[in-house]
Chain A
Amino acid sequence: MERIVFYILALIIIIFAVASVSSRKILRAVIYLLFVLIGISGIYFMIDYSFLGAIQLAVYGGGVIVLFIFSVLLVHHVELELEVTPLRKKLIAGAVVLTGLGISLWAILTFPFQTAGTDRTIEVSDIGHRLLSVDAGGFILPFEVISVLLFAVMIGAIVIAKGKKLNK
């Protein structure tokens, strides 16, 4: 049963990923991308890592995709279509993609995967403790670095949005 669900999800992801890059209507491409992201979150739910699945839905589905749609809404009319890429560029892009796929496949197929031991559901409190722990295996430093980065980004966004008003 789990295997069938996995193959259905994988099929959805692949089909919509291809559809997303080959669609000539920009908002359709965005929606296909959304389906890819939802499929990935489905895989997280399937392996019982529901926190990451919900993060995927909230951040990518609710955040990134909504921002994409917003920018499309602002600049594109419903009748506009993207221009077709010239064949030479298509060939180059295809070659690059195939190389990347080959490298990833080689890496995955040669890696000695081990089956997970006890399947314990990861609680949010575990993640919180780990993020703030200063012991070995704790993530306090990256956590603080990311906090500072986000803070800087927020100030930057306010400065850019205010523009000339700040100088007056």
Chain B
Amino acid sequence: MMNIPLSITTTIHDWLFSIMPEGAATITEWVLIAVAYLALFAVAGLYLVLLERKVAAWFQFRLGPNRVGPWGIFQTIADALKLVSKEIYSNQKVDKFLFNLAPYFVIVASLMAMAVFPFSKQFQGFDINIGVFFLFAVSSIGVIGLLVGGWASNNKYSLIGAMRSGLQTISYELSVGLSILTMVLLTGTLQLSEIIEVQRTGGWLIFQGHIPAVIAFMIFMIAGTAETNRAPFDLVEAESELGAGFHTEYSGMQFAYFFLAEFINMFIIASIAVVLFFGGWLSPFGITEGITWFPEVLWFVIKVFMIILLMMWFRWTFPRLRVDQLLTLEWKYLLPINMVNLVLMAVIIWLNFTL
């Protein structure tokens, strides 16, 4: 077959192949992996929404959702059930085909990006040799969904939202790409599992690369927040100006797809940051290195949630930028700093000044 290393728990793999013929076992394995990732997708999405609401409440001295279940932990599940039961409708003279297609672009792009992350040594869907570049390529597809959805809605607010999202994503993709490239200089490989192996011996990359790595991390966080269209860069769906931006006309599950994808994209940006700067599933100072039963995935999740909390902190602290401020920030500040930073990193590696 297509040489896909399926390394999710070899035990299940061996067990399946022992009770079934090879072809059937392979297909069963694919189905299991797909179900596992879809479940992860749904659960992560739902609970990130809840976390966002709780964090928002803490920042504003409120309680947040607290009626459905203890501390409101079933709130988002109830919301999801409500959204599933809602009618999907569209206004007159929309382009039906594109209108219904658009949410899937967004959701498929983020699902494909999820596949390459090494959650632990055993739990990685697709260990492709160009991992980081694949992430970059796939995430550039997602914006098509926003553009098409906004245009097909036949609503001028949606159209303006879509135009803004396109301009924002195209601009900030450059900064994300360049800051990732700065770190790739340090690792010398694009494969995500090998990037983590590099950090096992030499320490986390943010310490290995010290000054340029910290600058790259800051740029990556700013540009990553902008890529996910979150506040303070949420001009795309600025409530006070555009209704809800590109998804004004969407209802029910179609709206939920856009909404979930936004939170999953935040998870993806945080995961890239964890893999490239903070050692992925490696424990800090190698404290659980020798313990074989310790689930390494726990470290990955803890680190990801720290980064996500940072992004939520941004959201509830900073006011929204104007369009011209957004473009000035990217093209006049982040991009030149990034270029200089890339050269600085190259010089540091050339002179062997890495830690």
A contacts, CB < 8 Å to B? 1-2, 5, 25, 27-28, 31, 34, 45-46, 48, 50-51, 54-55, 57-58, 61-63, 65-66, 69-70, 72-73, 78-79, 121, 123-125
Contacts and interface: CB of A to CB of B under 8 A. Distances in A.
Nearest to B135: A54
B2 A2 contact: yes
Given A45-B2, A58-B137, A73-B162, A50 B130 contact: yes
A54 B2 contact: no
B19 interface: no
Contact of A78 (B2, B94, B101, B128): B94
Contacts of A51: 130, 133
B159 interface: yes
Contacts of A63: 140
Interface stretch (B7-15, B143-151, B209-217): B143-151
Contacts of A58: 133, 136-137, 140
Contact of A124 (B3, B154, B190): B190
B168 to A, nearest CB: 12
A143 B144 CA distance: 31
A73 B151 contact: yes
A57 B130 CA distance: 13
B2 A124 contact: no
Given A57-B137, A57-B141, A78-B152, A66 B147 contact: yes
Contacts, number: 92
B332 to A, nearest CB: 14
5 contacts: A54-B133, A57-B140, A58-B137, A73-B151, A73-B163
Shortest 3 CB-CB distances between A and B: which pairs? Answer: A62-B140, A58-B137, A57-B137
Nearest to A41: B137
Nearest to A5: B2
Given A55-B137, A57-B141, A73-B159, A121 B170 contact: no
A34 B2 contact: no
| Chain B, interface residues (CB within 8 Å), range | 35 or more
B95 to A, nearest CB: 6
Contact of B166 (A70, A124, A125): A70
B95 A27 contact: yes
B144 A69 contact: yes
Interface in B60-107: 93-95, 97-98, 101
B152 A66 contact: no
Given A73-B163, A121-B3, 13 more contacts: A27-B148, A28-B97, A31-B101, A48-B3, A58-B136, A69-B147, A69-B151, A73-B151, A73-B162, A78-B95, A79-B154, A124-B130, A124-B190
A61 B190 CA distance: 21
Contacts of A27: 95, 98, 148, 151-152
Contacts of A69: 144, 147-148, 151, 166
Given A70-B166, A78-B151, A124 B133 contact: yes
A54 B159 contact: no
A54 B137 contact: yes
Given A27-B148, A48-B3, A61-B144, A78 B154 contact: yes
